[in-house]
Amino acid sequence: MSALDSLDDRQREAASVLRGPVAVLAGAGTGKTRVITHRIAHGVDTGAYTPSRVLAVTFTAKAAGELRGRLRELGVRGVSARTFHAAALAQLNFFWPTVAGDTAPKIIDNKVRMLGQAADAMRLRPSTATLRDIASEIEWRKVSMLSIEQYAEQGRPVSGIRPEQLLELQASYEALKDERRQLDFEDVLLACAGMLEAEPRVATAVHEQYRHFTVDEFQDVSPLQNRLLELWLGDRNDICVVGDASQTIYSFAGAQQRYLLEFERNHPGATVVRLEKNYRSHAPILTAANALMRGRAGALDLAPAGDESNAEPPTVTAYDSERGEADGIADTIVRRIAAGTSPAEIAVLYRAHAQSAVLQQALAARGVATTVLGGTRFFDMPEARQAVLALRGAAVAPSDVGFLPTVRDVLRGLGLTEEPPQAGGAQRDGWEARRAILRLAEEAPDGTTLREFADDLMARAKDQHEPTLHTVTLSTLHAAKGLEWPHVLIAGWTEGALPISYATTFEQIDEERRLAYVGITRAARTLAVSWSRSSGRGERAPSRFLAEIGTTARGTGILRDVAPTSRPAARRA
């Protein structure tokens, strides 16, 4: 069976071109990861690629782990699938002793702490929040490839510190870092790029090692990452980039969608394939998403892969207060769970972390357990680590007891009960973690041994391939990117929250629009958006994006207005 057999026509077109520059413009839910992995597998199967000479780069360790896992499922091993930073760090550590005659500098683990030490030396006392903002500015400056002098010309103020102090503190931070012979995260990319530019023998070795490149989420590359990619390529052109300009939501961190939008211009003769068949969301959800991005640069026109005649239209609900909105969202979730929906199929999204507390409280009051994305990773939880170690230990000792009973016995010994504790708190979190591991065991293929299962858990931990918890997910819109749920509720569609208050320029508002688009396209079957008329500090206006995607006020019928029970029912589109 060919790696191309399970792809649709457009996906197959993208995966079939194995040489030269290729740009895959992949809309939300159109199978971009599938295309990436099947393209690499097709290259290996046909002999066009040697696995060890393929480098696939992405932006998070979790995404890189998913690429490795998908390639393993396709029978492909030996491909290097890494983040930009991991690939650069590996090259830096390998070549530094040869180039510099010494071991590579250590990587600092806390930029804010070192900034605080540099500030102390200057007798400055900025707040921790100000130091975090300065750390972000340093990151932006470096990925934008600007010197401190060039950065000064940008005129980017930071609250809590004068402009001249900001520049002096950055210089002091760099001097302290050099004195201690350390690098920060961004220095890794800068040093690797500098080494490739200055040392022909290093560039030759890297060019010999890697011949074929794949870049995921190409709309998120920064000038520094793009420069490093150019150096990795050299004078070759076997590169495939995949991205969606409508999902550029990290411009504040240096991402520039122009590299994706201008790829064909910068790579004459490039093959460009548009993936617009969406396999995730029902048609009414895609209608709203398309309306929000209509006319924007690089926007794709998403179409549903199937015909869902009874698909529910998205809804918009107005509440009197934030507390009322949280209660309304929680009541909606309780009704959906009572009707048979698993909590794991539901997510509540919002613009800022501060919005999560009231939602957690409302759900906990109704006995609904939640998991907040961006919190402790699953395999970093004490209960998960304890379970993995205990199962590895049990796998060493010979036993006549079957695989699944042994797993159950081990987890019961660690505190897993038939019924969960009351919702909320660390005890419930621990129960959910142990229950998730048991579900993995129950879903394991027939014939799996305890040793194989324990090894699989270790591989999952390394790749950050986390099991699904039977909890409702709470997440910021940024953290939700790349994920999906059957049922999505998005809170806080007000001016000042979405778009956020500090987004004032056209470019900033456009980024907020793209963030709303990312939220909408996380939903597969149902989408509910809501807003509150009051924050307790004054009246609020509905987000301008509601008008752009259509409400009953516009008469487009894309969204259905639903009033909360405390108010008269709104008319329907």
| DSSP-based three-state secondary structure for 399 | coil
Q: Find out whether 27 is annotated in a ligand binding site.
A: yes
What is the C-alpha to C-alpha distance for residues 260 and 225, in angstroms, rounded to an integer? Answer: 13
Q: Is 29 annotated as a binding residue?
A: yes
CA distances (Å), origin 41, targets 127, 370, 478: 51, 38, 30
Specify whether the CB–CB gap between 512 and 250 falls below 8 A.
no
Return the residue matching tokens 């194995």: 18
Distances (CA, A) of 501 to 327, 352, 509, 569: 24, 11, 10, 30
Strand spans (E) along 281-345: 303-304, 315-319
Distance CA 349, CA 319 (A): 17
Question: Running DSSP on this structure, what letter comes out for residue 251?
Answer: G
The rounded distance, in Å, linking the Cα atoms of 149 and 551 is 49
CB 42 within 8 A of CB 79: no
31 is in an annotated binding site: yes
Helix H segments across 199-315? 200-209, 223-233, 258-261, 263-266, 283-293
The one-letter amino acid at 406: T
32 among annotated binding-site residues: yes
User: Is 28 among the annotated ligand-binding positions?
Assistant: yes
Answer for the pair 416, 436: CB distance below 8 angstroms, yes or no: no
- 519 assigned to a ligand binding site: no
| Closest among 88, 67, 53 to 227, alpha carbons compared | 88
DSSP bridge pairs for 568: none
Task: Say if CB 138 and CB 186 are below 8 A apart.
Answer: yes
Q: Which three-class secondary structure state does DSSP give residue 389?
A: helix
DSSP 345-363: GEEEEESSGGGHHHHHHHH
* Residue 374 annotated in ligand binding: no
- What residues are paired with 318 via a beta bridge? 531
CB 531 within 8 A of CB 490: no
509/506 Cα distance (integer angstroms) = 5
| 3-class DSSP state of 52 | helix
Q: Is 81 marked as binding a ligand?
A: no
Buried b (16+ CB within 10 A) or exposed e, 169-186: bbebbeebbeeeeebbbb
> Which residue is it, tokens 């520094």?
224
Name 477's Cβ contacts closer than 8 Å, sequence gap at least 6. 249, 349, 350, 351, 490, 498, 515, 516, 518, 519
The phi and psi torsions of 283 (rounded to 5 degrees) equal -55, -45
Binding residues: 26-33
Which residue positions form the known binding site for ATP?
Answer: 26-33
